[in-house]
Amino acid sequence: MADEQNNTATQLSRPSLNLPAVVALSNMNLNNTTPAAAATVLSNAASAAPSTTSTTTTTSTTSTAANPTALDRISRGMYHSMQSSGKLKISAELQVEFTADDLRDLGEIGRGSFGTVNKMVHRKTNTIMAVKRIRSTVDEKEQKQLLMDLDVVMRSNDCPCIVQFYGAIFKEGDCWICMELMDTSLDKFYKFIYESLGDRIPENILGKITVVTLTALNYLKEKLKIIHRDVKPSNILLDRRGNMKLCDFGISGQLVDSIAKTRDAGCRPYMAPERIDPARAPGYDVRSDVWSLGITLMELATGSFPYPKWNSVFEQLTQVVQGDPPRLTNSENGNTFTQQFVDFVNTCLIKEEGSRPKYRTLLEHEFVVRWRDEPTDVAAYVADVLDKMASNGLHYTYDSYNY
């Protein structure tokens, strides 16, 4: 009961988001905005619709017109002209007012049930970006995930290991979210290396991936009190400049006393044993993401997912919860690894949650310390692989969940 009260208090401490609020808040610096000021903006956005007493029913949700959902208001056309201009914050030094007319569409790079992701260029600054065009008819569940993702990235612009948010505007009722453009996901990247090139990812690149991902996860925990809950190769992006960034926070969860409760959020193959064991009481912490990081690194290092394909939830339960955890060795699939890397991965994959370390301990691991400090030309390596992908006719398109 106390946990439920704490959870409620935590949720109330963060003002609720809707699509109009995203646009309103994108014109504020959230890192320097007090909760009271943010709440005022959100309240104004939420109360923009006129109050009536009739009841409106849709196929996906039932709501009163006196307190309509963001979807209700947008679908009625009430925001077709609202906030048609906004502030584009490309960096601390470069911030400009913009409208949809300032953006030139370079083509679609992704598609999902929410709408499309297009590559666009801001004409005045020549900034290329990914623009997620969210349809006004997106359902409540998907809107909730989209807004959770945006809530996190809008508050994470001071973390270089998390994909950056530039701004948001409305265009004919749809919400346009402008984000940093990356070239591809690690999922597509590593599969091309192993399957098309017959090559391996060198350990120095694996080291940089480890440092970036661990740094981003620790930032979420320490600064935002958030657990990601969906760490996997497709949610780590990279570009030819050598940048690597964590993305997709749509199912991340608020930590209450360092504990998350929702059991089924995330991609099941990467879930830690404590998250899929029905015999366990609900509740887990960041060490579940540590397990997911270990599975991810093992997949990148060996070129394949460390478990055989499961045909049922029962098979997964038997192997992950009851069986031995995957173990990396010094030689895997033609690749050789230092004992430092082997020890780091296997430490992440300690089956017993209580013995698995948290971020602070892992950040002091000798493998992380080494590759945090040792110079590596990530840009040259990534650019070479991306050029080979392009020569093979592979374009850098995104899955719907990458942005």
Instruction: Name the strand (E) or helix (H) holding 83.
Output: none
360 burial class (0-12, 13-18, 19+ CB within 10 angstroms)?
exposed
Distant-in-sequence, close-in-space partners of 340: CB < 8 Å, separation ≥ 6? 365, 366, 367, 370
Closest CA to 144 of 265, 8, 10: 265
The Cα-based distances of 376 to 137, 161, 190, 242, 349 in angstroms read: 45, 16, 18, 10, 26
The dihedral through the CA atoms of 24, 30, 34, 39 has a sign that is positive
Annotated binding-site positions: 132
- Domain carrying residue 290: 184-391
pLDDT of amino acid 194? 96
3: in domain = no
Tell me if 359 sits within 8 A of 218, measured CB to CB: yes
61: in domain = no
Tell me if 338 sits within 8 A of 346, measured CB to CB: no
67: in domain = no
Annotated binding-site positions for ATP: 132
The Cα-based distances of 335 to 201, 285, 343, 379, 394 in angstroms read: 8, 33, 16, 22, 25
pLDDT of amino acid 319? 86
**Coil, helix or strand at residue 240:** coil
The dihedral through the CA atoms of 65, 70, 71, 77 has a sign that is positive
The dihedral through the CA atoms of 388, 237, 359, 230 has a sign that is negative
20 plus 167 within the same structural domain: yes
304 plus 165 within the same structural domain: no
65: in domain = no
DSSP lists the bridge partners of residue 57 as 62
Can you give the CATH number for the domain in which 23 is found?
3.30.200.20
The Cα-based distances of 88 to 20, 142, 181 in angstroms read: 16, 25, 14
How many domains are contained in the chain? 2
Distant-in-sequence, close-in-space partners of 287: CB < 8 Å, separation ≥ 6? 272, 274, 353, 356, 357, 358
Tell me if 14 sits within 8 A of 254, measured CB to CB: yes
Pick from 153, 180, 207: which residue ends a domain? 180
396: in domain = no
Q: What value, to the nearest 5°, has the Cα angle with vertex 224 and ends 216 and 174?
A: 90
pLDDT of amino acid 397? 53
288 plus 228 within the same structural domain: yes
Q: What is the pLDDT along the chain (403 residues), one digit of tens a residue?
A: 434 333 333 332 343 445 566 666 566 554 444 444 444 444 444 444 333 333 333 333 333 344 444 434 433 443 443 457 888 999 888 999 999 999 999 999 888 777 889 999 999 999 999 998 888 777 777 777 778 888 888 889 899 999 999 998 888 878 889 999 999 999 999 999 999 999 999 999 999 999 999 999 999 999 999 999 899 999 999 999 999 999 988 777 665 555 555 555 546 889 899 988 867 767 788 999 999 999 999 999 999 999 988 877 788 888 888 899 999 999 988 889 999 999 999 999 999 999 999 999 999 999 999 999 999 999 999 999 999 999 988 765 554 445 4
Pick from 180, 198, 221: which residue ends a domain? 180
156 plus 188 within the same structural domain: no
205 plus 131 within the same structural domain: no
162 plus 211 within the same structural domain: no
154 plus 252 within the same structural domain: no
Pick from 158, 180, 202: which residue ends a domain? 180
Distant-in-sequence, close-in-space partners of 369: CB < 8 Å, separation ≥ 6? none
pTM confidence score:
0.79
Which residues are identified as catalytic?
230
